Amino acid sequence: MPDELNLSNLGPAQRRQDRKRVGRGLGSGKGRYSGRGLKGQKARAGSHKMRAGFEGGQMPIYMRVGKQRGATSKDAMPIGPFRTYTQPVNVAALERFDAGTEVTPELLKEAGLIKSIRKDVKILGQGDLKVKLTVSAHAFSATAREKIEAAGGKAVALRAEPEKAGPKKRSAPKKASASEPGAEAEGSEA
């Protein structure tokens, strides 16, 4: 390339390619059907403007397969707006901190145990802990809490843990009281 660009030495960056000219006779190699084959929807004008996934009017695959309803369903993908995500940290990983240290999500981030402090942290109970620590996290598993407290430490929840809903209890059918008119009739028959 020349040192100085001016109007006399300007040119395209690469050689221009001529447009393919179709329908110019059999000798051209792109005559007769002009590369579109024989008949059918794809041989017609405007046929290449079909949306992705179009199946010629047949019921498309995304409508034929079953769906999991609801963005917050357990099996819904991608994860719905109300699903929560926690970053797990096992108690075995907390062994690296000195005794008496207050372990916070910020400290876990510095140590490289979690990626972000914007997501909740849950301490899990895999491994052993022999160091007395005060651990602050958003959630604790039952075994993790036991192991931290067994080592003489303290587990501090940064957010109140939700109450676990027990099994639903069915209410017993109402018994007719003596003041109701139907109850007197049943009693008199006996």
Q: What is the CATH number of the domain that holds 90?
A: 3.100.10.10
Residue 133 lies in a domain: yes
Rounded Cα distance, 157 and 148, in Å: 13
Residue ranges making up the domain that contains 137: 86-157
Residue 47 lies in a domain: no
In the chain, how many domains are there? Answer: 1
pLDDT tens, 9-35?
888 888 888 899 999 999 999 999 999
Residue 140 lies in a domain: yes
Rounded Cα distance, 148 and 131, in Å: 8
pLDDT tens, 85-137?
789 999 999 999 998 899 999 999 999 999 999 889 999 999 999 999 999 99
Residues in the chain: 190
The answer to whether the CB of 75 falls within 8 A of the CB of 68 is: yes
Closest to 128 in 3D by CA, of 93, 166, 80: 93
The answer to whether the CB of 122 falls within 8 A of the CB of 142 is: no
Residue 57 lies in a domain: no
